Chain A
């Protein structure tokens, strides 16, 4: 690898982009473990809308999170293109895998940090702490998600507490 390539490697970062109810989102590709075509998951009763159920990922049980519900919308409708993105999030000193339901996975994109604009203070349908920034791609905007906030295990558990009873 020549130095110029190293340069670009340093300055840009890879993101996985996906679509959820017509909006484009991106997550840091380093957090992505794998993408599953929609598989049947086991629903877990008495859980809030954000937690849909659990799947068996090669012997370990992974919770499936409904992102749309987490963003304050209704539950994601399942269709043929529905995917589960498996993401690794830190849980104290370990990594915990979580699955998130999305309508469709688009692509892996290199994004230059300089292209990233700060999250709009208002006018977004998302809570501002969920967003690290916004990137313009042609006609569309892509929202970069702050995974540590969106998939905060404590908060997911807490919302189970308040909504579940």
Chain B
């Protein structure tokens, strides 16, 4: 594992931790003083500091250290998280995020870039104000030292750290040098003696294996937990012993016993470190001989057990913390971090497998070999299972994306001085990672719009008998093979008359043209349309809603809007669950094959040629169903067969029938991305490759439905210039 890769992990983890920190901080605004939340913030800061130290990112370490100290005072009850401190910490979080971003860009942080330096210093100063002055700090340390002195320990006034690194330390991306560098950020290494007993002959040495051990004399005012924290990432497979200053002789004895090297030699090393004087060493070894005589040779397990029982009180706190970290780590152990491109590759291969499988099945059917057919049946069932388990790998919950908006709403509501609360539901709804990534920008725009234009000022709300606090909500749920995301507000709603007036003014509508209310609302998604009378720096520049719509359309999604004047607006985005593979329904028209997404097919009926449908409608069980011949729609001039079928499709409350020649049945379909050349083709959702290698078209049912229903409702619909 090379360093770059580890650094990437550090960056990804830090970003995650900062995200958690932000969520926790926002939670504190509602529940100040919740100790779990405060601990979460502290842990995040602590871990970032620890990992940054490993990479020698001193700027981050020093900055986080101050923040951590302030958090420590909050934990001990000396400070409270009031609004001011929360706001400061949100800034601290953003600044850390910026520093991490700089690291990601490969900028050397040893001298901070000019654009972040002022903020860096300013935030540091603000934080320091929450810390007791240095006088009281040294006082605090002095009392501590007196307490330690009470234990009649040996003369050494520094910590003694024994390190035996595990063989995999280097392979895990840890660098002993980095650790020492980190130690030096809060203390001073007095002396350092390498222990090279495990080093094999040069010929047998594996350069990636770590054979090193160190005895370190370390002078620091830090507490045990801090020093212990430095070794958090190597603890698992390394042997680490930390003795506080002035430890008692039997503690040294225990140390000597616990380490793998010979006692005498180790004693000498300790002497060389300056931890023990010659007399002290003799005394220690003497005790050892005595105790050995008393108990003969004790099995090593017993020694270790005793050792774990006899923990000095200093360690108890650290131990508790260690346990906490271990619990966290156990949870994380169930998760594997995988490069997204590897997953994409897997999904691509599964796609190819599906095509190949369909080809095999088709060939088997043509041969009429029954055993062969059975075998391909089994195969295709397995392929289906592989697909079903591969696809969820890319699925992520939308909750994390939603939670990010807590911050947006908080910041924006301050900026525009409106009191607005965000409520989130359906965060556990899953969708494709690519979709999630590309939905964030449009959502941000919609949320800002809702806050800026949707929610009225408080006095106006009061006058309309609404609660003064505005409400914006995000909701997600699954519906017929798509995911629906709603952005709603309880604001003023849209005024259809104003939109119509504006559209006429902009020449987007013909004189006397009538539109259904829904179509009026959808006008705001047209380019160059904005009803905001004053342009704020948030939204209302006249660009935006059309960009939102374009982004959604690019994801094969649709967007529409519901609004009630005076009651609020809900924007509904409907997106496919995945961009890669769907269950399709294969139909035939003339020479061409078309695929309809299966979940949109409601039923198939035979078209009775005796009752030709008039004016694009068919009566189905007493209801009028708009119907179109795909042959006519696609200008296919091949002769019509004697028997035709109707596929009834539905989505978002719209239904229509498509007349086709032949129904070829279900078919697993890999969606091939649509080249830009075809992007303007109406009704085309993508391509797929059939088992025999020919290309088939996937129908874009939502857009077809839109066309059909609109055509049947308002045949004189004006073309709005794109």
Q: Which residues of A contact B (CB under 8 A)?
A: 40-47, 51, 53-56, 59-63, 65, 91, 96, 98, 153-154, 156-158, 160-161, 164-165
Contacts and interface: CB of A to CB of B under 8 A. Distances in A.
A112 to B, nearest CB: 34
A26 B62 CA distance: 64
B12 interface: no
B18 interface: no
Interface in B624-653: 633-636
Contact of A160 (B636, B680, B693): B680
Contact of B592 (A43, A56, A60, A161): A43
Contacts of A158: 680
A-B pairs, 4 with minimum CB distance: A45-B634, A42-B695, A61-B687, A160-B680
A157 B634 contact: no
Nearest to A62: B675
Interface residues of B, number: 27
27 contacts: A40-B694, A42-B592, A42-B694, A42-B696, A42-B697, A44-B678, A44-B681, A45-B634, A45-B635, A46-B635, A46-B682, A46-B684, A54-B687, A56-B694, A59-B355, A61-B672, A61-B675, A61-B687, A62-B675, A63-B675, A153-B676, A157-B679, A157-B680, A158-B680, A160-B681, A164-B681, A165-B719
Given A42-B592, A96-B676, A153-B676, A56 B681 contact: no
Interface string B530-564: 00000000000000000000000000000000000
A40 B696 CA distance: 12
Contact of A46 (B352, B677, B683, B695): B683
B689 interface: yes
A156 B677 contact: yes
B64 to A, nearest CB: 36
B682 A56 contact: no
Contacts of B679: 157, 160
Nearest to B692: A56
B717 to A, nearest CB: 12
B620 interface: no
Contacts of A51: 677-678
A91 B676 CA distance: 9
A165 B682 contact: yes
A59 to B, nearest CB: 6
B697 A46 contact: no
A96 B676 CA distance: 9
Contact of B681 (A46, A59, A91): A46
A44 B684 contact: yes
B722 interface: yes
Interface in B685-709: 687, 689, 693-697
Contact of A61 (B636, B689, B722): B689
Nearest to A164: B680
Candidate in B636, B681, B695 with the most chain A CB atoms within 10 angstroms? B695
Contacts of B696: 42
Contacts of A40: 694
A63 B677 contact: yes
Nearest to B351: A59
Contacts of B687: 54, 61
A149 B672 CA distance: 26
Contacts of B676: 91, 96, 153-154, 156-157
B682 A164 contact: yes
A46 B633 CA distance: 8
Contacts of B678: 44, 47, 51, 54, 63, 157, 160
Interface string B315-356: 000000000000000000000000000000000000010010
